Amino acid sequence: MTTTKQVSNTRVLISKIPEGTAPNKSHFRTVNTIEEVPQLEDGAIYVKNSILSLDPYIRYDFPEGTEETAVVGFGIAKVIKSKNPAFPMGSTFFGPVRWETYSVLDQAQLGESVNLDNGLDKDVPLSVYNGVLGLSGFTVWDSLNRIGDLKAGETIYISSAAGTLGQLAGQLARRKGLRVIGSAGSDEKVAFLKNELGFDAAFNYKTQDRRIALADAAGPQGVDVYYDLIFDDTIDIVLDLLNPHGRILSIGVLALHQGQELAAPKNLVNILLKQLRYEGYMVYEYFDQWEAFWKEVKPLVKSGEIKYAETVVKSGLDIVPETYVRLLQGEFKGKVSVQIGDI
């Protein structure tokens, strides 16, 4: 008689959040179940999650008629069962996983995944592959290269600049010869941007008038590129301050994740009058460039030329919702991950 192996799986569920409401701990629930180790279809893998990436967004789909579902984000895991040659048993996986102990991913879900063993550097902490060398870093690198059209001597302004994306965007832009301005939500973060990351100017958007602070930081040179990670009414200010032929790269919607209203600028006519380019970027179409990203950025991270800040919380899954809410409230600097197990 064959006995099917069972495992204890802890999982975080999320309830539907009313529009305009920021997530709080009451929207999440942690459940424990005993499950059978699945029989995999061709192309699928079964992983044990180790380090979950906490990002401002979380992806969730509610099947028709349901009010609660599993949370899906990205993370690092160990492949413990595989029917996919690209991710053999024992390999280190990075990709979309649920906030749970064990996850099953079918062939269709692996298009946004990477076998870290193909480029893992033991001198770099594994958690960094959730941040500056992971999806966040790739998003910045590819968006700047693909739609930024950066030119030496220009000025770029980066909102939410002390976060994972903003940190790297500023450093990569400086390496291309741009003057970099950033904004962040505390004086400590502003000091970090200027003193540690080498930003040319930075200001506290919570305590300073954003229009005056940005205009003063830009000076007579003005602003050529806005790297927008928030999508709030800062866009009104930037549209007035951008130079002719300036560019706006719309990358994130932190305002939405915090329960704020999204931008509805009244001065969009500046796009015409100044011949501006306003373009959005979503990373999921471009994973074929991952090796090129690693080839350029990984040596810079390893050597310390690219600096980063991260917070790794080592705990069980029950701490993930609280940590996520604190992330949205701006309590952390840089990348935030929760390590729920060893790799």
* Segment 123-144, tens digit of pLDDT: 899 999 999 999 999 999 999 9
Residue 240's nearest CA partner among 276, 205, 204 is 276
Q: How many helices (H) and strands (E) does the chain have?
A: 9, 16
Work out the average pLDDT over 48-68: 86
The rounded Cα 95 to chain-centroid distance in angstroms is 13
Q: Kindly state the percentage of the chain with pLDDT values over 70.
A: 98
Q: Which CATH architecture has domain 135-284?
A: 3-Layer(aba) Sandwich (3.40)
- Residue 73: CA count within 13 A, CB half-sphere: 29
Q: According to the model, what pLDDT value does residue 284 have?
A: 83
**Maximum Cα–Cα distance for the chain, whole Å?**
80
Read off the pTM.
0.89
Nearest to 131 by CA among 317, 321, 327: 327
Tokens representing residue 210 in the block: 């954003």
Domain assignments of the chain as residue spans, ordered by start: 6-131+310-339, 135-284
User: Residue 275's pLDDT is what?
Assistant: 98
Which spans in 177-279 are helix H?
Answer: 187-191, 210-218, 234-241, 254-257, 269-273
Mean pLDDT over residues 234-241, rounded?
96
Q: Is the pLDDT of residue 260 over 90?
A: no
Q: How confident is the model at residue 3 (pLDDT cuts 50, 70, 90)?
A: low
Q: Compute how many other C-beta atoms are within 10 angstroms of the C-beta atom of residue 128.
A: 20
CATH of 6-131+310-339, one of 3.30.365.10, 3.90.1150.10, 3.90.180.10, 3.30.9.10: 3.90.180.10
Distance CA 148, CA 226 (A): 9
Confidence at residue 1, expressed as pLDDT on a 0 to 100 scale: 43
Ramachandran category for residue 330: left, alpha or beta (phi over 0 → left; psi -120 to 50 → alpha): left
Contact (CB, 8 A) for 226 and 155: no
Cβ-count burial 173-186 (b if 16+ within 10 Å, e if not): bbebebbbbbbbbb
Q: Which of 171, 157, 168 is nearest to 234 (CA)?
A: 157
User: CA-CA distance, 217 to 199, in Å (whole number)?
Assistant: 11
User: Taking the mean position of all CA atoms in its chain, how far away is CA 228?
Assistant: 13
